[in-house]
Amino acid sequence: MATEMNGDHMPEYESKPLPDVVERFMRYVQIDSQSDPEHDDVTPSTPRQHGMARYLGEELTSLGCTDVTVDEHAYVTGTFPASPDAQSAPALMLCSHLDSVIDAPAAGIKPHIVHYEGGNLVAGVVAGEKIETTPEQVPDLEKFVGMDIVCSDGSTLLSADDKAGVAEICALLKRLSDNPELKHPTLKIAFVPDEEIGHGAALLDLEKLGAAYGYTVDGEALGEFNYECFTASQADITFTGVMVHPGSAKDVMVNAITVASEFQQMVPAFERPEHTEGREGFYHPINVEGSASEVKLSYIIRDFDSDIFDRREQTLRDIAAFLNTRYGENTVRIEIHQQYRNMAEKFKGYEFLIDYALAANREVGIEPNPVPARGGTDGAQLTFRGLPCPNIATGGYNAHSIREFIPVPSMEVTVDLLVALVAKFADRADCQG
């Protein structure tokens, strides 16, 4: 279904067969499965994720998986049997998340294909405004001239994060099923809910899953590969004021809003997300609420270096202590909660997972680009739970945005990459080294 965007109108689709991975992807994104941080006390955080989970359970069954389970928390697991010559190899897990982020609308997604001829990539027209991505915003666009690109209509997410990963894993299973000569170990498939709100693989039963190691398929630009990520925590800070009538407030009133403002001004200004990149960490205020009598302010803290990360946490504690000296004990109370750690700390003895992924990229004509993930992945959580798990790219761009897109050839070559990758595990007889 290739289309070209022209002017303010969406043209009719031109019918043509879709590659298997694209056909699957366009089906999956039309199932609403947003997670919701406001309901993170239950898993899944939204009932709609159950519908996506049930659908994917049926997909895995139709693709030849055994032991397919869709549990009460919307975790989907299944086993794809090894090729005949690889049945003694340790099982390999492949994992993607089934939820979509809440940062933009995700209900009623209308995926379509734009044949990109250069210039701005126009996803659609909403209320008379073109929803477009410029080459300045995404320099990689120049690589895609002449290619088909999947977009939403501009009113919603596309949900390539991470239904592209789901589709690529399912397309891999289809490829292996249709070509029994392709070597692969037993594959343990896991599709998990609530990754976008930090839960992800938390409730995945690793003992029951039975994999020795694995990969998440949840990256962005083709070739990107993540085996390290931020170490992360959240700081929740409460500012308690002293309230009296403002007419008689001199030397008595302590305004919680004022103290919270002073706190924020003392946090290093150029160590915020809008001023950092690459391996630079940050402090990021994410929520503030309250009144002159009490304010609650939350930060997320991120860094790749564990020593620098520890210093960041201490900086916030030191600011709180300084303000308590100025305004009185317990004016500022700070609680810091660890979220996840840099998974690079846990790959000693499992370096082959990195080597295999880099080699598989090169085998399909992609120069790999190992980059530290400026965020968390299900792989980080799984790695610290004892299942080493780097992250493979899906090929998507502009995640968490109505401008999200993914080139068709990128999805196809990701399936090729996964075929090459799983073949490397067919002859392994050990779990380490």
- β-pairing, 148-151 vs 112-115, is antiparallel
| Spatial distance between the Cα atoms of 155 and 175, rounded to a whole number of angstroms | 33
Q: Is 289 a catalytic site residue?
A: no
How far apart CA 19 and CA 198 sit, in angstroms, is 32
Residues 6+ apart with CB under 8 A from 299: 234, 235, 237, 267, 283, 284, 285, 286, 316
Check residue 17 and report its DSSP letter: P
**Is 195 part of the annotated catalytic residue set?**
yes
AA identity, residue 57: G
Out of 153, 194, 195, 303, the active site residue is 195
Which of the residues 32, 59, 99, 148 is marked catalytic?
99
Cα–Cα distance list, 335 to 139, 255, 295, 340 (Å): 41, 21, 14, 16
Which of 290, 286, 284 has the alpha carbon at shortest distance from 267?
284
One-letter amino acid for residue 316 of the chain: L
CA distance 389 to 230: 15
Positions marked catalytic:
99, 195
